[in-house]
Amino acid sequence: MKFLITSALITLLVVTNNCLIFGSTFNEKDEPVSKVEKLDWAPDLYQFENFYLSGQPDVETLKWFKEQGVDLVINLRSEREMEKFASSDFDENSFLKEMDLTLISIPIDGYDSFTPENLQKFADALNSNHNKVLIHCASCGRVSYFMMAYLKKYKDYSLEEAIKFGQQLKFKFPIEYLLGEELTWNDK
């Protein structure tokens, strides 16, 4: 599954940017374009501007998000994943309705789900009128990919800037794990 997700991101970024060059280095003076804060009290939880980026939240975490002013939840987990989760843990859809939180589900299940149409749905959701937004999947991996592509396509980030953003979350290509080192990128 991780390979499929990673392959989809590569395809999406290449198609979006039309140019991907390996082996160049970052400019040493460059700082991350957007600072992401890791929140340590829950696994796979980050904050960026008015967005919370997360793996699957539990009931207590969803209550905490509500207290923080979150009024929109974007769920990138597949329908199959959510059915299985609901049968063993809790029904997130019903719980969010009880908490009066808006839910937008964009089911991402494998390579075929990483499409420009789903990125457009994601962008439309982010550009809707909400105070704070929780975006989640199972472990924040899909969230990382969609945020990177969103920043690249809709917020004029360069590929390099989007990758720097993603590296603050959970973005890494499998080749980096195999080599035991991060690769450097340049989209110029």
pLDDT below 50 — which residues of the chain? 1-29
Tens digit of each residue's pLDDT (9 = 90 or more) over 101-137:
999 999 999 889 999 999 999 999 999 999 999 999 9
Q: What is the pLDDT of residue 119?
A: 98
Buried b (16+ CB within 10 A) or exposed e, 57-82: beeebbebbbeeebbbbbbbbbeebb
Per DSSP, what are the bridge partners of residue 33? none
Q: What is the pLDDT of residue 43?
A: 85
Between CA 86 and CA 68 the distance in angstroms is 24
Tens digit of each residue's pLDDT (9 = 90 or more) over 132-146:
999 999 999 999 999
- How much is the pTM? 0.78
AA letter at 149 = A
Q: What is the pLDDT of residue 32?
A: 52
Between CA 81 and CA 138 the distance in angstroms is 9
Q: What is the pLDDT of residue 58?
A: 93
Buried b (16+ CB within 10 A) or exposed e, 92-117: beebbeeeebeebbbebeeeebbeee
> And the tokens for 148?
């990177």
Q: What is the pLDDT of residue 127?
A: 93
Buried b (16+ CB within 10 A) or exposed e, 123-155: bebbeeebebbbbbbbebbbbbbbbbbbbbbee
Q: What is the pLDDT of residue 31?
A: 56
Q: What is the pLDDT of residue 10?
A: 44
